[in-house]
Amino acid sequence: MNCFRFLKSHQRHKMSPIKLTYFNVQGKGETMRLILAAAKVEYEDVRLNFEQWGPMKETTPFGQLPFMNIDGEELAESGTIARYLARKYDLAGDGEIGFAHADMMFEHCNDWQKEFILARFPTSPEQKQEQAEKIIQKFAPTWLSTSEKMLKTRGGEWFSSNRLTYGDLAMHHALTWLAWKEDKAFEGVTGCEERFTMLDKYPLLKAHYKRVSNIPEIKEYIANRPTAAQQMNGWGL
């Protein structure tokens, strides 16, 4: 079991101990980690491998990861945890409509993850090639175009409330996968090199990605986060 403790020497929130338990991958846990980084919150980042997860599975709320110990509670379901953290640390937007705008983007980014995961775990090389082509030729252009339009509607800088929210952090996480050379969704496929320059067609999204990347707390977290492990059937996610 690998445990990492992320903290700041300044501006800490007063809080009970927080422990996030997930595999040593990005996946559904990374937006939570980005929220905690942006909020300058100290927490224990527990990263499991499959051997460690097996004996623990029956002790968790729903037999799945991630789960979080926080405020004396054990929370499960990735969306629930992300929303709880965003609301707790003022990253959920202003008022109910601000929260709805941020949550729209969070859910939009969940759709992105689903497509990539299908390509990462194919049933055959032919299915993998087909799914990768679908991402680049059909899914990503539509998804990126609607994201660009939504960002423009919100003023061009943030997706909600004219400030950083968990919708922006979810978007940053999603866009990281597009040009990540090691992303296994594209390993062994051909004709998908367009992904490395695709974001150039969406200048607001590209600027948004850089904007979030340059937030000091996010920049520090990304520079120091553990490399995603290869223990999950050889897939570094």
| Integer Cα distance of 165 and 12 in angstroms | 19
Q: Is there a domain that residue 137 lies in?
A: yes
pLDDT at 114 over 60: yes
Average pLDDT over residues 180-198: 92
Average pLDDT over residues 210-235: 80
pLDDT-derived band at 16 (thresholds 50, 70, 90) equals low
| Integer Cα distance of 221 and 215 in angstroms | 10
pLDDT higher for 158 or 229?
Answer: 158
pLDDT value of residue 231: 38
| Integer Cα distance of 160 and 101 in angstroms | 5
Nearest CA to 64 out of 89, 27, 15 is that of: 27
pLDDT at 159 over 50: yes
Crossing angle for the helix pair 216-224 and 203-213, nearest 10 degrees?
A: 80
pLDDT at 88 over 50: yes
Residues 112 and 53 in one domain: no
CATH at 67: 3.40.30.10
Average pLDDT over residues 184-203: 95
pLDDT at 8 over 70: no
Q: Are 202 and 148 in contact (CB under 8 A)?
A: yes
Q: Are 111 and 143 in contact (CB under 8 A)?
A: yes
Residues 17 and 122 in one domain: no
| Integer Cα distance of 104 and 110 in angstroms | 10
| Integer Cα distance of 25 and 7 in angstroms | 20
Residue 11 exposed, middle or buried by CB count within 10 Å (0-12, 13-18, 19+):
exposed
pLDDT value of residue 236: 46
pLDDT value of residue 181: 87
pLDDT value of residue 13: 46
pLDDT at 233 over 50: no
pLDDT at 30 over 80: yes
- Host domain of residue 65: 2-88
Residues 157 and 102 in one domain: yes
pLDDT at 9 over 60: no
Average pLDDT over residues 78-91: 98
Mean of pLDDT over the chain? 90
| Integer Cα distance of 120 and 131 in angstroms | 9
Q: Is there a domain that residue 136 lies in?
A: yes
Given 56, 88, 120, which residue is the final one in a domain? 88
pLDDT value of residue 230: 46
Average pLDDT over residues 102-106: 98
Number of domain units in the chain: 2
| Integer Cα distance of 89 and 26 in angstroms | 21
Residues 207 and 148 in one domain: yes
